[in-house]
Structure 1
Amino acid sequence: MKTTISDEEFYAGLQRLPKPKYPFPNSIHHDFQLQREEYYDWIDREYIFHSKEAREKHKQHNLTDIAARGCPFLKNLAELRPLAIYAADGAMMDDYFDRCSYDEMKDIATHIMTLLTDDDPDEPANNDIFHRFWILRQSAIACEMPERLYKKFLKSLHEVLIGYADERVYYRSNTIPPLPVYLLIREATSGAKPFCQYVAMQKDYRQLPDSILEHLHIQRLHTICALMIGIHNDIISLPKELHREEDTMNLVKVLQQEHKTSIKEAYMMALEVHDNYLKEFLVLQEHLPSFGQWQEMTRNYVQDLGIMVAGVYAWHTNDTSRYVNGGYVEGEFNSKQ
């Protein structure tokens, strides 16, 4: 991509195309500003492996707002903190390791999981991305996250990290994946599955038994949430990804390749795919299985999954710094492979 490009070139008419819409309420956690202040502080103290320019851009992105908007009903800052750490550090890690290899990303994922599972209980000596994930575990313990919910959260987080590794194969080869492969990887790399698990930390949902939280009906709703978030991210980030080689994991690019069509036609196809998932979500929401005494709580939990999706999208639409012309952070990791 050219170092300097006009806004007209960057957006190429895409701004006027229709955008996703959700029928769910939009809210934000009452402690979002306090969480932002923590976020600015840890960037200054612990992200010194990033360039000054990258750190200042990350501050502008307010990545912890993704958690504050996705789970606005958490009781306090302590409960918000683990999700905010995951959201912000996951995004910044994805930026930093943008051009690493599959093997390097697998090694990074393995190291992170040893810290999150306490297989490696020692606090990392350096202020780096690994130290941040060690802090995530300490924050989950501090807010008394139930062990069974933490394990579900970790399982889905591990899938995100594996997805990050899998997509590197396509990035490094500058190859657009076929649609079935894209959908599998994007379900993971949207980063939404851990959010779906964390929704159960709100209100009284931690009371919901595993037989409900792991029910196929609920799991399908989680998958749909992940794909809607992945696709709406693709739609918003498309101008950036059209101007960077190796940004191949985007549904619009996938559909353009599969259907040999224009970018704008592929964009409309991608929006239709998104909207079909939204329709499926609403049908499944309306036709929940019989969950007995848990019926009303499950219905509310599913509604809050929708609010989570709308909240993440609201972060995208309120953010004016991450996916705009020149606003994104380039990968700074020095790959050895």
Structure 2
Amino acid sequence: MKSSISNEEFYAGLQHLPKPQYPFPDFIHPDFQQQRQEYYDWIDREYTFHSQEAREKHKKHNLTDIAARGCPFLKTIDELRPLANYAANGAMMDDYLDRCTQEEMNEINSCIMALLTGEDLNEPTDNGLFHQFWILRQNALNCEMPEHLYKKFVRSIRNVLQGYADEKVYYRSNKIPSFAVFSLIRNETSGVHPFCWYVAMQKNYRNLPNEVLEHPHILRLHMLCSLMIGIHNDIISLPKELSREEDTMNLVKVLQQEHNISIHDAYMMALDIHDNYLNEFLVLHKNLPQFGKWQEMAYDYVQDLGIMVAGVYAWHTNDTTRYVNGGYVEGEYISNEKSK
């Protein structure tokens, strides 16, 4: 990426193209300001391995707002903290480790999962991303997150981390994957499946049995949430990723290569794919399986999955600092392996 480019070069006319739209209301958790302040404190205390420039940029991104908008109906800030930690720490970690190898990412993932599952109960002695994942587990225990939901939440985080590792192969080789491979990886790296399980922490959804939460119909709705958010993230981040050749994991770039079409046409194709997923979500919401006494609650849970998707998009559209020209945090991790 050039050290400095003009806004005209950066946006390349993309800012005037149509954007995703959602038929769901927009909310934000009432404690989002307090959660922001805690996030600023995390960065100052835990992220001293980042440069000062990176830390200040991350503060402007207000990454905990993703959780506050995605799950606005959590009863207390205690319940918000684990999700806010996952959203913010996960995004900052992804930025920092942008150019590590797949092998290095797998090693890091193993340490994180040991902390989240309780296999490793020892508090990390140094500050940083490992300590934050240890704190995430303590926060989940503190807010009395039901064990069955916590296990689903952690299992889905494992898959997100695996997706991060798998995409490193394409970043480091500067290779754009096929649409089929990309879709599989992006379904995880959008980071949405943990959010889908955490939506069940709201209202009385934690009472929904596994026959509902793990029904194939509901799991398909989870996947649609993940794919929609992955696509709208790719659309919003496209100017940044077009200005960095090695940012190959973007749906628009994938479609451009696969169909040998212009960026404009690939963008519109990506938006069509997104809208088809949205239409499928709405049809499946209206036509849930028969869940007996859980029918109304299951319907409301899916409605709040839609609010979660719209909430994450609202963070993207309200943010004016992360994906703008010069706003992105460059990866600062120094790999032990030379670039291949």
Superposed pair shares fold, TM > 0.5: yes
Task: Look up the match of 1:283.
Answer: 283
User: How many angstroms apart in 2 are the aligned matches of 1:48 and 1:211?
Assistant: 45
- Structure 2, unpaired ranges of 5+: none
Instruction: Give 1:293 deviation, angstroms.
Output: 0.2
What's the counterpart of residue 68 of structure 2?
68
For 2:81, the aligned partner's letter is: R
Deviation above 2 Å: which 4+ runs of structure 1?
Answer: none
* Partner of residue 308, structure 2: 308
Q: Give the letter aligned to residue 227 of structure 2.
A: L
Deviation at 1:271, TM superposition (A): 0.3
Number of the residue aligned with 1:99: 99
Residue-by-residue CA offset, 1:183-242 (whole Å, 9 max, x unaligned): 000000000000000000000000000110000000000000000000000000000000
Structure 1 match to 2:257: 257
1:170-185 alignment, distance < 5 Å = 170-185=170-185
What is the CA distance between 1:245 and its match in structure 2?
Answer: 2.1
Look up the equivalent residue of 1:143 and give its one-letter code: C
* Partner residue in 2 for 1:207: 207
Q: 2 CA distance for matches of 1:253 and 1:307? A: 28
Gaps (5+ residues) in structure 1? none
Query: What SS is found at the alignment partner of 1:159?
Result: helix
1:131 and 2:136 are equivalent in the alignment: no
CA drift at 1:325: 0.1
Give secondary structure in 1 for the equivalent of 2:200. Answer: helix
In structure 2, the partner of 1:274 is 274
Mapped partners of 1:99, 1:48: distance in 2: 19
Partners of 1:335 and 1:264 in 2: how far apart? 35
Equivalent position of 2:239 in the other structure: 239
How far apart are the structure 2 equivalents of 1:298 and 1:222? 13
Correspondence for 1:86: 86
Q: Which amino acid aligns with 2:27?
A: S
Using the aligned pairs only, state the percent identity.
73
Q: 3-state SS of the aligned residue for 1:201?
A: coil
CA distance in structure 2 between the partners assigned to 1:4 and 1:163 by the alignment? 30
Letter in 2 for 1:200: A
Name the residue aligned to 1:11: 11
Pairwise CA RMSD: 0.4
Separation in 2, partners of 1:63, 1:186: 20
What is the correspondence of 1:27-66 to structure 2 with a 5 Å cutoff?
27-66=27-66
1:142 aligns with 2:142: yes
State the match for 2:227 in structure 1.
227
Matched residue count: 337
Distance 2:192 2:31 in 1: 21
CA–CA separation in structure 1 for the residues paired with 2:5 and 2:255: 26
Q: Tell me the alpha carbon deviations over residues 19-65 of structure 1, each in whole angstroms, 9 at most, x when there is no partner.
A: 00000010000000000000000100110000000000000000000
What letter matches 1:190 in structure 2? Answer: S
